[in-house]
């Protein structure tokens, strides 16, 4: 009888031990239910020192949310949180990504995840995060499906962060060459790659962005064979006539250009500097052009002063 009771107590003890040691497994939707169609923005922070970036890529958002549904989670204890996050030191690493999912800009957070590595993803219980109590965190299980999904999410974000870094480096180098965002868009539209843009000689850049330069062969003036011959007699070749046309000169204007005006315009890479010498700043010239003035009008006004 004594032995039976002892055996029963041992069995009960083992059962209680197993129950106490087992963790409740939860899915993403059980922890943080949401309608993925409502999410349009991700606020992404790398570690805790970089600026927050707003990601509005529908396919990326959908991919991450779909992968989250493939992950099984378990609730973390305070001790586990400290261990996994290394007492908060993991937040200072550039390999840690914090993602906040929101409906629209400046809206409240609908979902918060912390990517520690390609094997560890923490999911915050938003309800506790937005309350005065301790934020409850969940960590992914190590089953094959969960690990594959975590790896997929981490890889997508890592690639995005790498692209951001490459863009920042490119913009810095382009800025050192005096290229603005508007100029970069123009060069991109002309078919230049980032590498080609950074390797462009200063004189080529100056020629591309000089007033009147025809881009991709485009021009407001397309001379006929007879017009080309007549203009050539006056020392104006086809390329010069295209530039003059873009500056607002008609064919008749070109025929009657004075040597002084031709020298003032060409080479057109020096036109802005010539206008500055006449008292027209770059800002003033751009402002006049925005108001509908042609370069021809600005040039003749400058020469008549």
Per-residue pLDDT at 9: 47
pLDDT at 13 over 80: no
Structure tokens belonging to residue 119: 């094997």
Per-residue pLDDT at 15: 43
Per-residue pLDDT at 220: 82
Looking only at the bridges linking them, the beta strands covering 121-124 and 137-140 are antiparallel
pLDDT, tens digit, 9 for 90 and up, residues 197-243 = 999 999 999 999 999 998 875 678 999 999 999 999 999 999 999 99
Annotated domain spans of the chain = 24-161, 177-208, 215-303
The rounded mean pLDDT for the chain is 90
The span from the CA of 216 to the CA of 187, in Å, is: 11
Q: What is the DSSP string of 138-196?
A: EEE--SHHHHHHHHHHHHHHHHHHHHHHHHHHHHHHHHHTT--HHHHHHHHHTT--HHH
Q: What angle (nearest 5°) sits at the alpha carbon of residue 257, between those of residues 256 and 258? A: 115
- The band of 18, judged by pLDDT with boundaries at 50, 70 and 90, is very low
Residue 126 and residue 28 in contact, taking contact as beta carbons nearer than 8 Å = no
The span from the CA of 281 to the CA of 268, in Å, is: 16
- The band of 14, judged by pLDDT with boundaries at 50, 70 and 90, is very low
The span from the CA of 77 to the CA of 139, in Å, is: 10
Structure tokens belonging to residue 84: 């996994």
Per-residue pLDDT at 48: 77
Task: Give the containing element (helix H, strand E) for 129.
Answer: helix 126-129
pLDDT at 304 over 80: yes
pLDDT at 178 over 70: yes
pLDDT, tens digit, 9 for 90 and up, residues 275-289 = 999 999 999 999 999
φ/ψ of residue 152, rounded to 5? -65, -45
Structure tokens belonging to residue 212: 């009147």
pLDDT at 51 over 90: no
Could you give the percent of the chain with pLDDT greater than 90?
Answer: 83
pLDDT, tens digit, 9 for 90 and up, residues 128-167 = 988 888 999 999 999 999 999 999 999 999 999 999 999 9
Task: Give the containing element (helix H, strand E) for 60.
Answer: helix 58-68
pLDDT, tens digit, 9 for 90 and up, residues 76-125 = 999 999 999 999 999 999 999 999 999 998 889 999 999 999 999 999 99
Cα four-point dihedral sign 11, 12, 16, 17? negative
HSE-up of 59 (CA within 13 Å, CB side)? 2
The span from the CA of 227 to the CA of 38, in Å, is: 62
The span from the CA of 44 to the CA of 99, in Å, is: 5
- State the pTM of this model: 0.76
């Amino acid at each position: 009888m004594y032995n039976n009771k002892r055996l029963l107590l041992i069995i009960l003890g083992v059962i209680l031990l197993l129950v106490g040691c087992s963790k409740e497994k939860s899915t993403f939707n059980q922890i943080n239910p949401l309608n993925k169609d409502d999410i349009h923005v991700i606020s992404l922070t790398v570690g805790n020192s970089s600026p927050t970036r707003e990601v509005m890529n529908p396919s990326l958002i959908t991919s991450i949310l779909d992968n989250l549904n493939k992950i099984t989670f378990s609730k973390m204890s305070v001790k586990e949180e400290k261990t996994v996050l290394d007492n908060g030191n993991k937040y200072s690493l550039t390999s840690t990504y914090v993602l906040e999912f929101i409906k629209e800009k400046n809206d409240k957070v609908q979902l918060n995840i912390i990517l520690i590595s390609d094997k560890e993803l923490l999911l915050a219980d938003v309800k506790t995060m937005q309350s005065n109590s301790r934020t409850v965190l969940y960590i992914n299980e190590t089953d094959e499906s969960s690990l594959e999904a975590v790896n997929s999410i981490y890889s997508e974000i890592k690639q995005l962060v790498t692209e951001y870094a490459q863009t920042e480096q490119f913009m810095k180098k382009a800025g050192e060459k005096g290229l603005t965002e508007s100029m970069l868009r123009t060069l991109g539209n002309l078919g230049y790659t980032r590498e080609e843009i950074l390797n462009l000689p200063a004189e080529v850049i100056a020629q591309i962005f000089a007033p009147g330069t025809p881009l991709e062969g485009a021009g407001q003036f397309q001379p006929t064979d007879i017009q080309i011959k007549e203009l050539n007699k006056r020392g104006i070749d086809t390329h010069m006539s295209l530039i003059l046309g873009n500056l607002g000169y008609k064919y008749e204007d070109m025929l009657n250009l004075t040597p002084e005006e031709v020298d003032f315009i060409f080479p057109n890479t020096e036109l802005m500097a010539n206008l500055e010498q006449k008292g027209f700043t770059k800002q003033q010239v751009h402002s006049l052009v925005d108001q509908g003035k042609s370069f021809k009008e600005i040039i003749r006004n400058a020469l008549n002063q």
